[in-house]
Structure 1
Amino acid sequence: MTILLLVLAHLIADFYLQTETMVSDKKKYLLRHLVHHTITIFLALTVLYFVQGTEFLTQVLLPTLVIVTLHGVVDGIKIKLQEKSVTTQRQNSYNLSLFVGDQLLHIISILVVCYLFIKVDLGDIFHYILLSLKLIEGVQPDHGLVNSLLFLCIMFILCTSVTGHLIKIMLGTLTRHLSLFEGKYTLRDLAVSATSEKNMSEEYTYMVMKHQDLSRGKVIGYLERLLVVALILMGSFSAVGFIVAAKSLTRFKQMDDRDWAEYFLLGTLTSFLLAIVYGVVLKVVLLG
């Protein structure tokens, strides 16, 4: 319960309380971001204190201070590394590695604090995880209602916001050519030459992307992953293919553009792959 609650508090502060403006200029808004983390971590540890705590100073105040301080250090290092100049070809993979490494370090810092201050046995936790995932033989642990709900909340955030952010970093920003929405510009009744009797009719395709289109795309991504997870939990693996087909049909005309098609397929396949992984993990852990 302790680790799950702290991880949930971290995810809420990192992916719900942190706005796009804060992400775009993290150096400027780092202090505000740390305040968000202080609030969520403090509230989580306070809940734990009332449930199973004995010393407020060592089990709430000090862990909060250490976790937030470590978070600030990790984010500061990440900001410095992001300022490092990299080639355009490697920019996406570089930012993706920073994102994954950043999140792993935050989780590790939470584990270390739990071990040092709250006396959580990490060996038992690791064994519990292996049993839950059925990676080792043994009696399946009873998760309990609270742990199951916390785990569901964490998986929900991973399936929606975290995965959406990861895919966004992996694909990078849309180029001017791809960040366009389908439209048409037609030139008609143009003479081929001054003496020509036939007219020429040409049709050009151009695209204009609106902010609303990006927002809708993000929501669609959330819904498609949640739907895939639900289908996996129900055992309807074959139905996942229909979602892929339905999504592809909505972009059928744009598939003529090879760049767009590759961009679309990479994002879609990554989204579905991670959703399937989440669904399988939930099915194994909660449903056996």
Structure 2
Amino acid sequence: MNEFYLLLLPLIFTHLVVDFYLQPFSWVLDRNRYHFQSKKLRIHACLHGLFSFITILCWEYTLGWEDWSNAVMCAALITSSHYFIDVAKSFSKGTIAAFLLDQTAHLAIIIVCAWISCESDWFSMPNWPQSPFSKAWVILIAYLLITSPASVFISISLSKWPWINTLDDGLPNAGQYIGFLERFLILTFILVDSYAAVGFILAAKSVFRFGDLTQAKDKRLTEYVMLGTLLSTALTLAIGVIAKSLIA
């Protein structure tokens, strides 16, 4: 039953790429404004269907099945479900609960498609495969999660405490890229069992940030930075530990 996971993992990877890396923020705004009538949402849903179709077809050719009808059916299900799930999300207030519910619904559809494609028994769970391919997919998904998806999660989580630094003369988007690099290093150190290096990264960031926070004399800034750092670290640690347990 390794075929199930060898389809599920690439489909999850495809979903993350299309949902977080091939969807400009302007498309999200268009969806939230026009809902059912959003043309950008229709394009976005079709991209999910197209990439899912290619993923399933490649998986089937690898197994020698070559069943186009199954790939078309699953791609149609992913396209239509993604459209309606995102329409429902467009009416939400952009809370963290809405974000998690949206991604959970998409994941459930992906699992159903993988299950149908493998013609699996609905009452039995296949064993987790310990193959180089499954481990590689887990690592790729983990690194995808700690970049753009993690940034969206952190941004929504901190949105209830809006803070604007009118005195900021730093590099444009530098904070976002610093966060990417920080989470990338933390995840890498977790995967290679170097937990002490994680503490070094946090200590180094604290030293460099200490001067800015002291000069700012703004308690809100200090708390905002601490919340963002701790949330980013906790999220990366959770993803890293789960990924490590799956590839162990």
TM, length-normalised to structure 1: 0.74
SS at match of 1:128: coil
2:83 counterpart letter in structure 1 = G
Cα distance in 2 for partners of 1:233, 1:109 equals 29
- The structure whose residues are more often strand, as a share, is 1
* Residues 187-234 of structure 1 deviation map (CA, whole Å, 9 limit, x = unaligned): xxxxxxxxxxxxxxxxxxx61467x53x22111111111111122223
Alignment of 1:131-280 (within 5 A): 141-142=129-130, 144-172=131-159, 175=162, 178-180=163-165, 207-208=167-168, 212-213=171-172, 215-252=173-210, 253-255=212-214, 256-280=217-241
* 1:225/1:271 contact within 8 Å kept: yes
- The structure whose residues are more often helix, as a share, is 2
1:115 counterpart letter in structure 2 = W
Give the aligned partner of residue 127 of structure 2: 128
* Residues 256-281 of structure 1 deviation map (CA, whole Å, 9 limit, x = unaligned): 31101111111100111111122222
1:44 to 55, 59, 70: 55
Deviation, 1:95, is 1.1
Identical aligned pairs, as a percentage? 29
Structure number with the bigger relative contact order (C-alpha 8 A, sep ≥ 6) is 2
* 2:138/2:246 contact within 8 Å kept: no
Deviation, 1:284, is 2.3
2:108 counterpart letter in structure 1 = I
Unaligned 5+ residue runs, structure 1? Answer: 83-93, 130-140, 181-205
Cα distance in 2 for partners of 1:174, 1:208 equals 18
TM, length-normalised to structure 2: 0.85
Cα distance in 2 for partners of 1:235, 1:63 equals 38
Structure 2 CA distance for partners of 1:274 and 1:156, relative to 1, 3 Å:
same
Deviation, 1:16, is 0.8
* 2:57/2:66 contact within 8 Å kept: no
* 1:3/1:111 contact within 8 Å kept: yes
Cα distance in 1 for partners of 2:205, 2:88 equals 39
2:232 counterpart letter in structure 1 = S
Q: Number of paired residues?
A: 233
